[in-house]
A and B are shown apart, each in its own frame.
Chain A
Amino acid sequence: MKKLLMTLVVLLALGLLFAAGGAETKAETEEITLEWWTWDPELLEQNEQIISSFEAANPGVTINNTIVGTKEYWTKIRIQANQNKLPDVFTMSSGYIEEWAKAGLLYNLDSFIKNDDTFTNFYQSIFDTSKEISNTESYYSIPFALVTTVLYYNKDAFDAAGVSYPSDDWTWDDFKKAAKQLTIDKNGDGKTDQWGHWFYGRYAHIEPWVYANNGKLIDKNSMQFNPDKNAMDAIKMLTDLVLVDKVAPPQKDMTSFQQQDVFSQGVAAMWVDGSWFVDTLRKNVGDDMRWGIARVPSGPAGPSNLTYGWPDSYALAPNTKHPEMAWKFAKYVAGEGINLDVYMAGKIPSAKKLAEDPLFADPSKQPGEEMNLLREQASGPMTTSYTMGWSEWRGYGGSESLGLNGTIDAIINSHMSFDEAFKKGTENINSVLKRYYK
């Protein structure tokens, strides 16, 4: 009996020893798998490189990257959210941050940011812009890039017409004067072959002017569409370019163009849109045309440096099992572990070491030194018009012909008068906003 007891004690002791040893071994090589969702299929190779370098630096961590086509991304990830199966790290759009943060679908990053040296490596201004867009008091996203809006101008056309290039102190009168000189009927058939400027109701064509005139589209107290006088002056100035000054074409004249091609094919000498089109222009135009970027001219009521810009970000799932590792990986893919060549030209990295890289304003590529404007914009004040339901009331993507976009197009296409279009447009927009902000 005694012998049996001793045997049992020894066995138990051995068992405990192995159990403890086993647990220790397990802790040392604990396997962590993170799911990472992104939306651009073209980035497959780059993502694979990022993953292999991160995995090499963090043994035991496996990253599974799922790339969903841009058009299906939001439908699929919404269903993941609905099923509580959000990936640990995923691409987030500024247009949805508020809706998602308020629905509790994004991880609150405040404690990480507070206890970390995040802002040694990243620009706080870009994180703050993202916080402002979320319409909350917390950080819910890790921006990897900032995009702004700029005035693109065709240097060849400016030179040919003897017009001096846009400068930071350009007023709207200077802009209009240049647009007039650049509107040219080259073959004398009575039809304009080169327009001074090109725009339609698109958000990135309109809002930059509204903010450059210190205007507001949304009343933040009532969350209703209620453009103030400065905003209306800016929109009126633009629609007059088509209807009165005749220096910009109506939208219906350009339906056969991809909107970005109007400028690159020399049909318009100036164009305001997102800074990411630097990349498109470099690829599409090459050296066939000399072009530059400048600040959108300030209006009579405007500040000189308020920029319409917003971040592209990553977010973490609120129920991620490995928040620390997800945070570490998100910072890695948002800048700490990547190179400048991962970025589309014109997107400003939120990581300081990348944005300050001399190659950001590579003098051998257009628009050379003028790329410094983007860095200046990134460090200055910024604003946006994002709200919940933005794509619906603004008229974006599949609904581009509707919403505020459709309202402005109706004016420049002479389908409705300015007042009539805004009366009808405001009613529709507010019925959308009322659904989201009850």
Chain B
Amino acid sequence: MTHPPYRWHSKLTPWVFIIPTVIGILVFRLIPIVSSLYLSFTDWNLLSSPAFIKLGNYQELLSSEEFIGIVLNTLQFSLIYVVGSIVCGLALAVLINVRIKGISFFRSAIYLPVVTSAVAVGIIWNWMLGPTYGLVNNLIEAIGLTPPYWLGDTKLALNTVASVQVWKMSGYYMIIFLAGLQGINRDTLESARVDGANAFQSFFRITLPMLMPTLFFVLTITIIDSFKNFELIYAMTKGGPQNASNTLVYDVYLNAFVYYRVGYASAIAYILLLFVGLMTIFNFYIKKHLIQNLD
């Protein structure tokens, strides 16, 4: 009897190497993901056993006015974050894409907020945006304007937190854009200049189109990152005032770890997954139909 040349168990060594990762993914990712799907159909306060309530949590969520508001907040936060991060990240990248003395200092300085703890960033911005003694409001008053309540106003709080998140993360996207910019052939830009193109024309006609693959990559990751907004909200507004800055991620935290409604929190998490899934499909669609030729 002859052995087939490629039997799976004849390659035991690769399995030995990947087993730790596979176990890690199973225990810390896949099993919790599947379990939380089951939990989203239960009522569970961690104390007793989960009670199966079918679609009860989803029905409660969809009939809750508060929840609809939280979904809209999440989308608003994402929009501000995605647009803000791309515009600021790209602008910063263009600004520092020059060869002058000391530029590496600016590159590091702009990147610094990315590696700073979100809670520390939240506390510092809370002080700076403070209504009475805050630096920002004092500057606004100094030029004779009436400053707003950045975090105390229901209409502003979410935008403020999202903007601080943009401030914190722009440096990260800047680095990615910078890599993209440095990959653009300088000869093309120089010939455009010789042909009489000004800086704006060069940017919009040459740099930006050639940067499309990078832009698409940044768009994808900013959309994913835009849903990860727990820490700043916790440090700055705790979802307030009156749910004005509450998002799906923060609401999962509140329900799971403050109210101990684990089933309900799992249902919220699955709705969040639905949004992230839809965004990902949308991304693939854009990539396939709009910019595939640019890769």
A: which residues have CB within 8 A of B? 74-75, 78-79, 81-82, 99-100, 103, 105, 191, 250-257, 389, 391-392, 396-402, 406, 409-410, 413, 415, 428
**Are A100 and B47 CB-contacts (below 8 A) given A252-B152, A253-B132, A400-B240?**
yes
Q: Cα distance A396–B242 when bound, in Å?
A: 13
User: CA–CA, A75 to B238, complex, Å?
Assistant: 19
**CA of A413 to CA of B149, assembled, Å:** 10
Q: Can you give 7 A-B contacts (C-beta < 8 A)?
A: A82-B48, A100-B47, A251-B152, A255-B149, A255-B151, A256-B131, A396-B258
Q: Is the CB of A82 within 8 A of B47?
A: yes
Contact with A along B67-108 (1 / 0, CB 8 A): 000000000000000000000000000000000000000000
Specify which chain A residues have a CB less than 8 angstroms from the CB of B47 in the assembled complex.
Answer: 78, 81-82, 99-100, 103, 105
Interchain CB contact under 8 A, A391 and B259: yes
Alpha-carbon distance A406/B239, docked complex (angstroms): 10
CB proximity of B104 to chain A, nearest CB, Å: 34
Given A79-B46, A256-B134, A400 contacting B238 (CB threshold 8 A): yes
Residue among B131, B149, B151, B240 making CB contact with A402, cutoff 8 Å: B240
A74 to B262, CA, bound (A): 14
When C-beta atoms are compared, the residue in chain B nearest to A105 turns out to be: B47
Collect the chain B residues with CB atoms within 8 Å of residue A415's CB.
Answer: 154, 241-242
Q: Give the chain A neighbours of B131 by CB distance below 8 A.
A: 252-256
Q: Which of B109-140 contact A (CB under 8 A)?
A: 126-127, 129-134
For chain B, what secondary structure do more than half of its interface residues adopt (helix, strand, loop), or is it mixed? loop
A410 touches B46 (CB 8 A): no
Whether A409 touches B133, Cβ cut-off 8 Å, given contacts A99-B47, A103-B48, is no
| Any A CB within 8 A of the CB of B237 | yes
A133 to nearest B CB, angstroms?
Answer: 18
Q: Is B225 an interface residue (CB 8 A)?
A: no
Secondary structure of the A side of the interface? Answer: helix
Also in contact, A78 and B258, with CB within 8 A (given A256-B130, A409-B242): no
Q: Are A397 and B258 in contact (CB under 8 A)?
A: yes
Q: In the complex the two chains form, is A406's CB within 8 Å of B240's CB?
A: yes
Q: Are A401 and B154 in contact (CB under 8 A)?
A: no
Residue from the list B49, B133, B242 in contact with A256, Cβ < 8 A: B133
Is A253 within 8 A of B152, CB to CB?
A: yes
**Is B217 located at the chain interface by the 8 A CB criterion?**
no
**Do A256 and B127 touch (CB < 8 A)?**
yes
The answer to whether the Cβ of B234 comes within 8 Å of any Cβ in the partner chain is yes
Q: How far is the CA of A105 from the CA of B45 in the complex (A)?
A: 13
CB distance from B140 to the nearest CB of A (A): 14
For residue A406, which residues in chain B have a CB less than 8 angstroms away from its CB?
Answer: 240-243
Are B46 and A402 in contact, CB atoms less than 8 angstroms apart?
no
CA distance A401 to B243 in the complex (A): 7
- Candidates A82, A256, A398; contact of B46 at CB < 8 Å: A82
- Write the nearest CB–CB distance from B181 to chain A, whole angstroms: 38
Report B226 CB to chain A, min CB distance, Å.
21
- Shortest Cβ gap from A203 to chain B (Å): 14
- In the bound complex, residues from chain B placing their C-beta under 8 Å from that of A256 are 126-127, 129-134
Q: Binary interface profile of B, 250-288, with partner A (CB < 8 Å = 1, else 0)?
A: 000110011110000000000000000000000000000
In Å, the complex CA distance between A254 and B132 comes to 8
Q: How far is the CA of A399 from the CA of B251 in the complex (A)?
A: 9
Does B190 sit at the interface, judged by CB under 8 A? no
A75 and B46 contacting across the interface, CB-CB below 8 Å: yes
Kindly provide the distance from the CB of B238 to the nearest chain A CB, expressed in whole angstroms. Answer: 5
Given A79-B46, A409-B242: A399 and B126 interface contact (C-beta under 8 Å): no
Residues from chain A with a CB closer than 8 A to the CB of B151 are: 252, 255
Q: How far is the CA of A397 from the CA of B134 in the complex (A)?
A: 24
Q: Are B238 and A399 in contact (CB under 8 A)?
A: yes
Q: Are B241 and A409 in contact (CB under 8 A)?
A: yes
A252 partner, pick from B127, B134, B241, B259, beta carbons under 8 A: B241
Additional pairs, 13, CB under 8 Å, beyond known A82-B46, A252-B152? A79-B46, A82-B48, A82-B49, A252-B241, A253-B131, A391-B258, A399-B238, A399-B254, A401-B239, A406-B243, A410-B241, A413-B241, A415-B154
With A252-B152, A256-B127, A392-B258 as given contacts, are A398 and B48 in contact (CB-CB < 8 Å)? no
Q: Which residue of B lies closest to A410 (CB)?
A: B242
Residues of chain A within 8 A of B238, CB atoms compared? 398-401
Please name the 9 residue pairs, one residue from A and one from B, whose CB atoms are nearest each other, closest first: A401-B240, A252-B152, A256-B130, A78-B46, A398-B258, A392-B259, A252-B149, A406-B242, A401-B238
